[in-house]
Structure 1
Amino acid sequence: MATGTGLAAISDALLAMNSTRQVRDVLQTIVGSARELLNARYAALGVPDGAGGFAQFLVSGMTERQWRAIGPLPRQHGLLAAMLRRAEPERVADIRRDPRFEGWPEAHPEMRGFLGMPILDGERVLGALFLADKLPERPAARTRLRDGTGPGTGRPRGDTSFTEEDEELLRLLARHAAIALTNAHLLERSRELSIAEERARIARELHDAVAQKLFSLRLTARAAAGLLTRDPARAAAELTEVTRLAAEAADELRAVVVELRPAALEEDGLAAVLDAETRVLNRAHPARVAFVCREPGAPGPDREEALLQVAREALHNALRHAAPSRVDVSLDRRGAHTVLRVVDDGTGFDPGAVRRAGRRLGLVSMRDRAQAVGGSLTITSEPGRGTVVEMEVPRG
């Protein structure tokens, strides 16, 4: 059974998972929560790709440099494959001595104690949690027992194995992780469908507007052709009209194609992606959604990704919860920093009350994203006065 401290830790983990809406954020929160909850040195979460590998594999306890040095994502082999095939937990005292162990890449850290837990939605495997090397409990006093055990733990020094209680805690976390992950998938799918529906509507507008102009263009050109010999002056006027209609049709087509084409962060840059997404949102919602870029410069790929995700979360919060008439998104430059601002004139909220009620509206996720890239996040709001979300990151 979990102690009061354990239950509090589980509660914190569940709040963190359910405060996050992006699937990758949920996955990262789950793996971080599992590592912290069970006091493990390393934790990982793999999402199977259905072809013997992993579509995603997230880690906690390693630096980005260490993870890159290990190499490509692991395949499902050895103990990982056995656990996923049977969809049952695995707990071993020393993974290196398990007959299913098949070794690690050269840069992989040495591990002994192992605990694996599938994340299940019914019989479907959504992912699997892998924990390695149980750390000694953090004692109140730095004393060592004379019988050679670790301080206050009753465990031999150097023992990194997980206990039956650890397994039950991870099983409980995995059940709630399945719910959080399923909800995030559903929300992401809902967003995709909303954007798809909006694109379909724009396509219909394109067909109606441009087809009508092209029809007028054809009739006018035909009339001009008939007048060339009989009335050259009128024919010239009709040809001028042809030119005007062709220019209007081209402008209409260009504007809609810009909105229909998904902008890619790596290829187009942060400003282009935000511009494209705010245009779609402006059409899809009654609120006016506008974007302005004041030459912020490129803050680097990781920081651009973080800025984009924070902007999306802030826009989602404003449009879904604040009933604004206007939302303004801007990128600006402040000294050696790039600044993102998302400002709405909606209902606003009391940030203190939101924290006390446990409803975080993705605020924790946004702050974590900012801090992860060396930036800062400020949220200013009060009931009836709208909300300002400002994220600042170093350039270069």
Structure 2
Amino acid sequence: MLYFDDTTARRVGAEPNGPGTHDLGPAWHDHLVEESDHLLPKLPLDELLAEVQSRLQAVVAARDGVHALLEAVVSIGRELDLETALRRIVEAATELADCRYGALGVIGDDGRLAQFLPVGVSEQEIARIHEWPHGRGLLGLLIAEPETLRLAEISEHAASYGFPDGHPAMHSFLGVPIRIRDEVFGNLYLTEKRDGREFDEQDEIIVKALATAAGIAIGNARLYDATRRRETWLDASAEVTQALLSGTASEEALRLIARHGRGMAGADTSIIVVPEEGGRMLRVLAVDGVDGSDGDGDGGVRDMAFSAEGTLSATVLASGEPRAVPELRRDAAPMPVLDRLPDGPALLVPLGAPPSVRAVLLLAKRRGATPFAEPAVRMLHAFASQAAVGLELADARKAAEEHGLVDDRERIARDLHDVIVQRLFAGAMSLTATARLIDRPDVAARIEHVVEDLDATIRQIRSTIFALQTSKEDRATTLRGRLVTLVESAREQLGFAPGLQLVGELDNAVPDDLAEQLVPVLQEALSNAVRHARATRVDVLVSAAGGVLLLQVADDGVGLPAERHESGLANLAQRAERLGGTFTAGPGQDGGTTVRWAVPLDQES
């Protein structure tokens, strides 16, 4: 090996002018010195070797980076699920750039962040962050100007907005846009290069290459996601529509809508809120997923009622447009039901269109979860609209069936009144006339007894006619209807249908205050018959005639027990006494027990 100094050129180990020394002469010597100045820099050999080693390491690192990039591109290219693909892109970017934190921000139609997927931040750290990113500061700068941005210190940039309370400290920064053809889909945000280093040009090149591949992968995942959403939407809509048109009750159908909506959105919880009292109040009618992932619990949320004033649900009911929020803020929306729901991203979808929005489907995720993307919002809005149409059709069909039933009942009532009652009345009149022609008193008495039975039968038939002609809605608002409903409700406990006679114009002749007293009296009398009588027949008579309101309940049971609590009967007696009337309870003419409760109709006199 040759070496050169400033004056000579010798073989290694040769002594000056000694044996083995080849004197090249002054001219050759000068030529070698001149050439050496061009061939090697004037640096110590160790430094030269260190430089060569450093460059070799850089080449090896570049090779490893390219291999890692290729592996990442292949990895994200295999993902067809959009959410999974997005998260894998962020994870690959943080690995390639060797940084601690990464995120992918998806830009919505309004130019703000529609989704924000963080990597490197635990759920506990996410829970401590006071406010989720909205697209301000450097994030907003990359949205407005989609160009690569590399910083050594975030806080020193003019567009830096600062961090919310609870946010981890971050310094170095690398932002790279992701494009799908000519559209800017979103941005990759990388921070905190490990070991306190700064992002360099090599990081920028690799992440930009990854972003290019990510755009292609996202485009493919979008197509797959759209196809899958369409299939899910069709299946859910078909099941809900089939359930509604097959006669499923509205509340059960709402629970089915809540379950499918939760599954389609990937939400942790879903509830359906309906307006009441002209929209002044809201009530939860359907719940899915409050008490865990199995979706069976309601966590005490179902049937919860609260004021609609100032709530997001009321806003959606009025506008008829879906509303997505990055987090459920209990201070901004005073809904007590929010205390039972996750406080992460939420979506409120109307069921129906203004001015006939039937309900609101509220979907909520846990804090830190991915917000609801625009395609998912559109899909859920379409699903809710289809479900609302199904509910309308089911209600229309039910109303038509009820109208048909009412028509049938009115026809039966007319036939009973015009044919049966008239014939019975004519027969009773004929028997009465016949009894006057008979000289034998015992036969005449028997005929008169038959006439009385016919009169009682006519009264019962007329009560039945009234029940046939009265709808459930009317029964709840009239005294006759309330009495009929109360007597019918005793059928299951007694094991047979009690007889009911309603005499006089009860709805017009009985004041409201007396009606409010009469209903609980009848309820108590029937309750006593159910518990103590062991009867096979119970007859109820309510009459408003001769200025007296009379209630009589007679049974053919075992009579009043010898040992009994007088609280129920005493209560009936006290009610009659306060109203200036009378109350008796004792054996009937044919056995059993007869309860009579009578008060004057004119309470002012």
TM-score, structure 2 normalization: 0.36
Separation in 2, partners of 1:258, 1:272: 20
Tell me which of 218, 228, 237 is aligned to 2:429: 218
Distance 1:179 1:272, change over 3 A: farther
Separation in 1, partners of 2:462, 2:258: 46
* Residue identity opposite 2:423 in structure 1: Q
Show the counterpart of 2:304: 72
Per the TM alignment, residue 176 of structure 1 is displaced from its structure 2 partner at its CA by 0.8
Tell me which of 162, 167, 174 is aligned to 2:372: 162
**Do residues 112 (structure 1) and 344 (structure 2) align?**
yes
Counterpart secondary structure, 2:243: coil
- The answer to whether the 8 Å contact 2:271/2:362 transfers is yes
Show the counterpart of 1:204: 414
Unaligned runs of 5+ in 2: 1-221, 473-484, 498-605
Per the TM alignment, residue 34 of structure 1 is displaced from its structure 2 partner at its CA by 0.8
Distance 1:190 1:272, change over 3 A: farther
Tell me which of 274, 278, 286 is aligned to 1:47: 274
Separation in 2, partners of 1:55, 1:109: 15
- The answer to whether the 8 Å contact 1:66/1:107 transfers is no
Separation in 1, partners of 2:259, 2:338: 25
Tell me which of 80, 83, 86 is aligned to 2:316: 83
Separation in 1, partners of 2:441, 2:427: 20
- The answer to whether the 8 Å contact 1:115/1:131 transfers is yes
Counterpart secondary structure, 1:67: coil
**Do residues 62 (structure 1) and 290 (structure 2) align?**
yes
Separation in 1, partners of 2:254, 2:337: 24
Separation in 2, partners of 1:8, 1:246: 67
* Residue identity opposite 1:47 in structure 2: V
Separation in 2, partners of 1:11, 1:58: 22
Superposed CA RMSD: 4.0
TM-score, structure 1 normalization: 0.53
**Do residues 16 (structure 1) and 239 (structure 2) align?**
yes
Show the counterpart of 1:239: 448
Show the counterpart of 2:230: 7
* Residue identity opposite 1:120 in structure 2: G
- The answer to whether the 8 Å contact 2:269/2:341 transfers is no
Show the counterpart of 2:398: 188
Counterpart secondary structure, 2:274: strand
| Greater mean alpha carbon deviation, residues 253-262 or residues 5-14 | 253-262
Q: Between Structure 1 and Structure 2, how many residues are aligned?
A: 251
Per the TM alignment, residue 272 of structure 1 is displaced from its structure 2 partner at its CA by 9.6
Per the TM alignment, residue 253 of structure 1 is displaced from its structure 2 partner at its CA by 5.8
Per the TM alignment, residue 238 of structure 1 is displaced from its structure 2 partner at its CA by 4.3
Unaligned runs of 5+ in 1: 135-156, 276-396
Tell me which of 73, 84, 100 is aligned to 2:332: 100
Separation in 2, partners of 1:106, 1:119: 20
Separation in 2, partners of 1:71, 1:56: 5
Cα deviation digits, residues 127-157 of structure 1 (max 9, x gap): 21111117xxxxxxxxxxxxxxxxxxxxxx9
- Larger radius of gyration between Structure 1 and Structure 2: 2
Show the counterpart of 2:362: 130
Counterpart secondary structure, 1:82: helix
* Residue identity opposite 2:451 in structure 1: V
Separation in 1, partners of 2:290, 2:491: 29
Higher relative contact order (CA 8 A, sep 6+): 1
Distance 1:223 1:62, change over 3 A: same
Per the TM alignment, residue 66 of structure 1 is displaced from its structure 2 partner at its CA by 4.5
Counterpart secondary structure, 1:47: strand
